[in-house]
């Protein structure tokens, strides 16, 4: 029996190149979860193997900026000349239906989400070492040296943002990282601040007492 | 890779009769844990099947009061004419060695522990309903009606203390409750307040920055 029925908004973030996407995929491959993710919107070009509406919603810069001005994003960020954002309406629907919504987003966006939804669960994914991260950034091999350098600089700034998160999870092993995130989700449902209202209902006590 | 190597002090408490002992036993029967528990000291008589030094340390009232005056308890309480307490020295040794120390104690004692060790993990175990608890208290069958009535009154006072705890876990199924407590322990190790020091070491950043 769970004392908190509403879904949690789980923000998975961390420095550029830490492997957020891989961990998110491993998380969704775990058995018996109730997770869903919010598909982000972007203005960057579609890559080989990607699908519109599944990997991202791919839209034009004009369309994206129109949506910004209409307040339709939970968060958005510009990165290497492109926008990335999380559509707000879908997220609330999913939370209300009891699903845990996982956002896998950049650090800048994550901090915006925390401001808008203070009771979200902020998870900062980190590499086992800085060198490990630099190696990952270089081995991706799909980007120019200039873009790699930008990512390295960005990662170095992002390392310092860990303190704004609720949890720090090391991505030394994708399965372990995903499994620890599932434990965090289970634990968060039991946290007193989330469960005490239903608890008072259950035992018929007045919460004001 | 865990970013917090010190053991956690896990306080499992809850209203009288909720099944703290059963959940604690189920927890220790789980595979792959690193849990240990602190054996309490008491002045109550030894019951059939109990073992000195395993279930409790059974001591005289004089001995117990001497230890109180020497500050040798992490917490202690008097209940139905007897003392119950947790010896301090053993607990610290175990935490330093990286073990998670589980205290299964009365509410009064739990609140004392929180004052002395603010970074302990406070878990409040609750029944699926108040009636369920009253039934359990009556079905124990080893105590007089007078003692049962005292326990019911005590439980009713204790129900209101949930707000002082970090987590509320429903004991509707012993295995589920134990499994949720394990998730809480895993999650707590990843909490930023516990893991950020080692994280800064790992990435070679100055924590003051």
B172's enclosing H/E stretch is none
Nearest to B187 among A176, A184, A195 (CB): A184
The ipTM of this complex is 0.84
pTM: 0.86
Both structure tokens of B120: 């302990």
Q: Under an 8 A CB cutoff, do A190 and B184 touch?
A: yes
What was the pLDDT predicted at B208? 54
Q: Under an 8 A CB cutoff, do B196 and A129 touch?
A: no
Look over chain A and give the mean of its residue pLDDT values, rounded to a whole number.
90
Q: Is the pLDDT higher at A74 or at B148?
A: A74
Helix axes A20-29, A174-190, angle to 10 degrees: 70
What was the pLDDT predicted at A15? 92
Find tokens 């009232």 and name the residue.
B61
The nearest alpha carbon in chain B to A163 belongs to: B192
Determine the distance in angstroms separating the CA of B72 from the nearest CA of chain A, rounded to an integer: 31
Nearest to A166 among B1, B166, B192 (CB): B192
What was the pLDDT predicted at B145? 83
What was the pLDDT predicted at B137? 81
Mutate to test the interface with A, among B183, B196, B205 (most CBs of A within 10 A): B183
Q: Which residues of B touch A182 (CB under 8 A)?
A: 183
Question: pLDDT confidence of A206, banded at 50, 70, 90?
Answer: low
The closest alpha carbon to B40, from B106, B103, B85, belongs to: B85
Q: Decide if pLDDT at A209 tops 80.
A: no
What was the pLDDT predicted at A40? 87
What value does the CA radius of gyration of chain A take, rounded to a whole number of Å?
Answer: 18
Q: Which residues of B touch A15 (CB under 8 A)?
A: none
CB B179 within 8 A of CB B30: yes
For A96-151, what is each residue's pLDDT tens digit?
999 999 999 889 889 999 988 999 999 999 999 888 888 888 876 667 888 888 88
CB A159 within 8 A of CB B205: yes
Q: What is the mean pLDDT of each run of 10 residues along chain B (209 residues)?
A: 86 92 94 87 93 92 95 89 89 90 91 91 94 82 80 89 96 95 96 92 69
């Amino acid at each position: 029996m769970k004392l908190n029925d509403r879904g949690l908004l789980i923000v998975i973030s961390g420095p550029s190149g830490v492997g957020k996407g891989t961990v998110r995929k491993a998380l969704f491959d775990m058995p018996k979860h109730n997770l869903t993710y919010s598909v982000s919107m972007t203005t960057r070009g579609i890559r080989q193997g990607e699908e519109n509406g599944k990997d991202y919603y791919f839209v034009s810069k004009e369309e994206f900026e129109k949506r910004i001005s209409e307040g339709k994003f939970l968060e958005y960020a510009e990165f290497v000349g492109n926008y990335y954002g999380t559509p707000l309406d879908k997220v609330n629907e999913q939370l209300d239906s009891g699903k845990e919504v996982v956002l896998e987003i950049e650090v800048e966006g994550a901090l915006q989400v925390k401001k808008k939804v203070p009771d979200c669960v902020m998870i900062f994914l980190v590499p086992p070492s800085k060198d490990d991260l630099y190696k990952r950034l270089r081995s991706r091999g799909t980007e120019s040296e200039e873009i790699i350098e930008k990512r390295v600089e960005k990662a170095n700034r992002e390392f310092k943002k860990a303190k704004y998160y609720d949890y720090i999870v090391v991505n030394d092993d994708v399965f372990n990282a995903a499994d620890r995130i599932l434990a965090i989700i289970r634990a968060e449902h039991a946290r007193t601040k989330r469960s005490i209202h239903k608890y008072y209902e259950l035992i018929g006590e007045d919460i004001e007492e």
